[in-house]
Amino acid sequence: MKRDFLSLADLSAEKVWGLLNLAISLKKERQEKGSNRPLLAGRTLAMVFQKPSLRTRVSFQLAMMHLGGQALYLSPAEIKLGERESIPDVARVLSRYVDAIMARVYAHDDLLTLAKWAAVPVINGLSDYNHPCQGLADLLTIYEKLGRLQGVKLAYVGDGNNVLHSLIFGASKVGMHLVAATPAGYEPRPDVVKQARIFAQGTGALIEVIRDPHKAVRGADVIYTDTWTSMGQEAEAEERRRIFPPYQVNAKLVAEAKPEVGVMHCLPAHRGEEITDEVADGPHSWLFDQAENRLHAQKAILVDLFEG
């Protein structure tokens, strides 16, 4: 039976830790030896994009290259998933050509349809529901920086979006304390929080959703933020710029957390909105270590799907 990588909610705590350890091993191997073993020699990944990307495209393409495989980029104009051709047909055609499909889409239902009809593994490169590849890379970054995940307090400040959903699921699997501070009406989905709290019963994690960003960051080991307006929400941009300024991650807010707090952002950043230059480029910033770890986390996802 084929396995997909669609949400961190689908993984056991043991599987999450297994992927993190595999990512660490693959990263160390390349750093020490200058290359990775060709674990994916002869394998091909189709990369289907509805949304543009920097990190997702480059990290997946290089991950396949470093591991001896190949990646094929299919742009939004080439595929027009669900428009030029039905999603079930795209899934069945690509399944005859490639060994796995990574898709970066708008609607999560499109991803689920792709996975349903594909005969090969499907990886969620981003959907409006969640972003599990980013979530795994974030856990990897925190673990590298702090040497632990259990009991780490992560304060998320901003929009309750797809990135937050994956952080909530990830935190619930590894025993973290996640506090999300969002404006009224911009909370994470209640079903995500409910499901994560069920997972948390087995790991000691704590998941909270509050309004006050200052309360959220008190005692935080990590502060995380994301853009106030995601792709596909452009019509809401002006309204969001009016509502979200109290949730900006700036030097004043960072000073309210632990002195050694790390600051994370999945990028691209709208500097001067959700995060200031002073913080993004300052001593607390983990932004670019985090971006690098997309490569290593995705190597682990690919190796696990092909070889696991």
Active-site annotation holds for 214: no
Q: Are strands 44-49 and 70-74 parallel, antiparallel or unpaired?
A: parallel
Catalytic residue among 138, 294, 296, 298: 294
**pLDDT given for residue 308 in this prediction:** 67
Catalytic residue among 66, 131, 177, 284: 131
Catalytic residue among 99, 110, 266, 284: 266
Q: How confident is the model at residue 100 (pLDDT cuts 50, 70, 90)?
A: very high
Q: What is the chain's mean pLDDT, rounded?
A: 96
Q: Determine the average pLDDT of the residues in 51-66.
A: 95
Q: How confident is the model at residue 230 (pLDDT cuts 50, 70, 90)?
A: confident
Active-site annotation holds for 61: no
22-38 tens-digit pLDDT: 999 999 999 999 999 99
Catalytic residue among 134, 248, 290, 298: 134
296-306 tens-digit pLDDT: 999 999 999 99
Catalytic residue among 55, 57, 66, 104: 104
pLDDT at 234 over 80: no
Q: Given phi > 0 = left and psi -120 to 50 = alpha, else beta, which region is 232?
A: left
The H-assigned helical ranges of the chain are: 13-33, 55-66, 76-79, 87-97, 108-117, 132-146, 162-174, 190-200, 213-217, 237-243, 251-254, 277-280, 287-307
Q: CB–CB of 159/182 below 8 Å?
A: yes
Q: CB–CB of 117/87 below 8 Å?
A: yes
Q: Determine the average pLDDT of the residues in 205-233.
A: 94
Active-site annotation holds for 131: yes
Distance from chain centroid for Cα 142: 13
Q: How confident is the model at residue 109 (pLDDT cuts 50, 70, 90)?
A: very high
pLDDT at 231 over 70: no
130-186 tens-digit pLDDT: 999 999 999 999 999 999 999 999 999 999 999 999 999 999 999 999 999 999 999
CA distance 305 to 303: 6
Could you tell me what percent of the chain has a pLDDT over 90? 91
Q: Going from the N-terminus, what domains does the chain have, and what CATH number goes with each?
A: 8-131+293-307 (3.40.50.1370), 133-290 (3.40.50.1370)
Catalytic residue among 195, 226, 240, 265: 226
Active-site annotation holds for 30: no
